[in-house]
A and B are shown apart, each in its own frame.
Chain A
């Protein structure tokens, strides 16, 4: 029972990280209808920039994540302008090729600046607390708490604020959005900035638990794609539910079956879901 509770918390913490990374990806898909294959690379850069602010500059942990999120948001906007905006009328394969190019570019930049070796980011939050006999580290509690707060703020932004609503408006009807005066270009930039910032928060939260390396985003990239396909492309609740479901499945399988099976479970789940519900769990009808 203690082991189960321990794993449950680990799963929730990992789920929080997956959610934050997956939401950005699903937002970009909803607005631009492209799979941003460079999303994992943005996550990786987010981790390194957090490391830079925390270790090299020496600002407090939360401020380091915040500053890194701002830097990455700007980078996300820049990427939209320089990479995807010029391709807005091109076939979709061009977007994918460009995204892969951006991913390699970001990895090369990280390697040039920080080297190819693994780096460790010491956890600034130490200690643990005993809940129902299980030792839960404060870092994991902070991850879950932050994920819940950020998800709450994001939901408020997308559903309640006029700027956030433009994201949903573009997803639902491009022509209608144009006619009420919403600029697709501005919404694309907003979406990329937001997605990159969310990926950075995820990376900054998980960095003290994992090691940093220029290719750390690759495995995450595959998993968040699995999550948003599982949840239904473009669906926010789908990304949240999918993120936690996948993380729990992964952690529980690693514990009770084997670590290798845990790594593979994501893809077993996705194959099962796609076999039964090919549009994902929370599919929205795609009208175009």
Chain B
């Protein structure tokens, strides 16, 4: 279970995120909604140790994450699939995936199992495994990014806008796989612009605005909430 308490973070001494409280329960899919610039990406970066929080705490399975090096956080079971993917563009797809298993390198059998699972989820990546990741289409690159995150054998997968820049049909496919990953028992913390599609597959949700949590509840409640319907679903 991930517990975020009073988390503030930002860039160059200017906080973007102000005292945010969020929880993501084990095995559940938790969605974070919010407009561009509402602080979703900053929150994720603070959780996975890319930016240092200026205040507050993050606890995962009883361990405090702030202050841990990024590799310790990955080892603890939190994988972050970032906005903009950050793939190793010139390396073949399979090398990208295997580097995703870097923190599990001492257990090559497990790495092989994880690789097989990723190819099961994204069969197209198996066909493209020898192609440089940078030559794939946007949707396929997103699959590589998700696959690479899964290769670290996480118990919580943080997905930052996996559908950004993708065609609607591809977005639906990606979200289908996200739901499938969650059914396998992996907790997911998802930021998504497509609020309706995200809430359909989620258990819980939070709405961020200007760096604060303005609304939270079960996915079903949020789908019916008048503010959400107006602001994010356009109803």
Which residues from chain A sit less than 8 Å from chain B, CB to CB? Answer: 162, 165-166, 168-169, 172-173, 175-183, 284, 287
Contact = CB atoms under 8 A, between A and B. Distances in A.
B22 interface: no
A165 B70 CA distance: 18
B71 A172 contact: no
Interface stretch (B81-89, B180-188, B194-202, B216-224): B81-89
A180 B100 CA distance: 5
B50 A179 contact: yes
Given A162-B105, A284-B90, A180 B69 contact: no
A173 B149 CA distance: 15
Interface stretch (B27-35, B91-99, B113-121): B91-99
Interface in B140-156: 148-149, 151-152
Residue in B69, B71, B82, B91 with the greatest tally of chain A CB atoms within 10 Å: B71
Nearest to A183: B71
Contacts of B40: none
Given A168-B91, A180-B152, A181-B102, A175 B50 contact: yes
Contacts of A181: 70-71, 73-75, 102-103, 152
A237 to B, nearest CB: 13
B74 A180 contact: yes
Pick the 9 closest A-B CB pairs, nearest first: A176-B86, A181-B71, A181-B74, A181-B103, A172-B88, A178-B70, A175-B86, A173-B86, A180-B102
Contact of A179 (B70, B75, B90, B95): B70
B42 interface: no
Interface residues of B, number: 31
B87 A173 contact: yes
A176 B87 contact: yes
Interface of B: 48-50, 69-71, 73-75, 79-82, 85-91, 95, 98-100, 102-103, 105, 148-149, 151-152
Given A181-B71, A181-B103, A162 B50 contact: no
B169 to A, nearest CB: 27
B148 A180 contact: yes
Contacts of A179: 48, 50, 70, 74, 79-82, 86, 149
Contacts of B73: 181
Contacts of A169: 88, 91, 99
Residue in A172, A176, A183 with the greatest tally of chain B CB atoms within 10 Å: A176
A34 to B, nearest CB: 21
A287 B86 CA distance: 11
B102 A172 contact: no
Contacts of A162: 98-99, 102, 105
Contact of B82 (A175, A182, A183): A175
Given A172-B88, A172-B89, A180 B99 contact: yes
Contacts of A284: 90
A172 B91 contact: yes
B105 A176 contact: no
B188 to A, nearest CB: 16
Contacts of A173: 86-89
Contacts of B105: 162
A228 B88 CA distance: 22
A287 to B, nearest CB: 8
11 contacts: A162-B105, A172-B88, A172-B91, A173-B89, A179-B48, A179-B79, A180-B74, A181-B152, A182-B99, A183-B69, A183-B70
